[in-house]
Structure 1
Amino acid sequence: MEVTNHNPSTYASLIDPKEGTNLKFIPMKEVNGRKGAKIKKADVDYWENAILCGVMGSNPPFVVIDGFVHCIWKSMEIDKVIMVRKGVFLVRFTNMHYKLTSLSKLGSMFGMPIKTNRVTKEKIALQYARMLIEMKINEPFLDHIDFINDWDVVVRQDVKYEWQPIKCAHY
């Protein structure tokens, strides 16, 4: 007799446990009469020890810029050099705090944040952060979220989903 496992795997269980950074649920606070997140400067201090460098009038290969940056800042520990776009490079130094509290806060607005992907963990892509969040299927999928920053300014952030389940109104 053949025994089969009828327990379906979750998407989260299929992801490499070493990939990304684990996130945690952070309860929301009241923001302008609605539940929302309060993002403090300390939550996103990752960029304190990073600079953007622009190369004017030419587009040298990445290896040339990487070597140049390491040469001129040889007395400083450089964590990573990243090409943002043609002629623009981000230089990140190592003496920084590693925090993803802001992503936990924002992810908690949708449900239970589980983890980021490797690219978000290593802060390679500057355009967006990707998170895996356990959400209730019967609740709406938000197209934007509002949060308040340290200066009490409400910031609206658009949200894009890599995948959404198809909901059947019949069942």
Structure 2
Amino acid sequence: MTEHADSVDDEFRPPDPIEMHPVSSPVQIDFNDIQDEVDFWNSSIICCIIGANPPIHVMEGFIRRIWKNFNVNKVVLVKKGIYLVRFLTMDMRDKVTSGHFFFDSKPMIVKPWSVDMDMEKEEIKSVPIWIQLILNFKYWGEKSLFKIVSQLGKPIKRDAATVSRDKLQYARVLVDMPITQKLPDQVSFMNEHSELVQVPITYEWRPTVCDNCKLVGHSTIECRKGKTKRIWVQKKQVQNHTEVVAPEVDQEGFQRTLRPIMVRPTNLVPTPVVNSFQILNDDGGHSACSTAELDREDDIEEGSTGRGNSSKSYG
């Protein structure tokens, strides 16, 4: 009798295959079908950082820190560089969209989510940029200062130090500037005496725009959609000038399987050989020493062993 690992019900019958009919027209989705999702995400915003794509955990920590008093419910990643932030109330969402925020000195674009928003085709045409103007503080009023920076873009606001007149080194203004235009290094205006005044501009951040894809965040050289072609070139092999010594063959014709030995040519330095006992090489070595020299050696030996002559007696 055959045993089965899984018991099978005798009354089980597989369902009849579903007969597929060609669809004459696509199904219709009404507003009632999507209303639940629209109501859930209606209090959300879409945000992105110009020139940066932080990971979702970094972005979530940043958002919950700067908006900790705005009842953030969810922070999710829509696609690379685009984040969806949901608030518990519409009032909190509207307060956030009325402000301007920056991530590592880079502007963060914030827009309210709408049901008809196409995030694939959403284009960024302008970005808020903080600028510094070394300008006489008599022109720091909102009327005169906004009139000067309106040549660059749409003025948004002055910073707190400029408004309170606490720091008079420079005026700091937030300007919404077109992202495709070239940022000038100075701005000019006619003062109250009809004199031309040129003011240098310091940008706290400059957008990097690609000339190929017209996107922000990378240069033309780094663009993946560029027309730059890569050509593979074969690497030249470097030849080592070494001498290989083959193994020897014995008398019976057998050859030992040895690994080739690499011999490097070296310059041998000859070692001079000199006999320190050169006197032994001469003929009649004993005749070379005179009798006087032998007597002198005997005197030296006696002086080294006897102390009678060298000592003095004291009576």
Between structures 1 and 2, the one with greater strand share: 1
TM-score, normalized by length of structure 1?
Answer: 0.46
TM-score of the two chains, using structure 2 as the length reference: 0.26
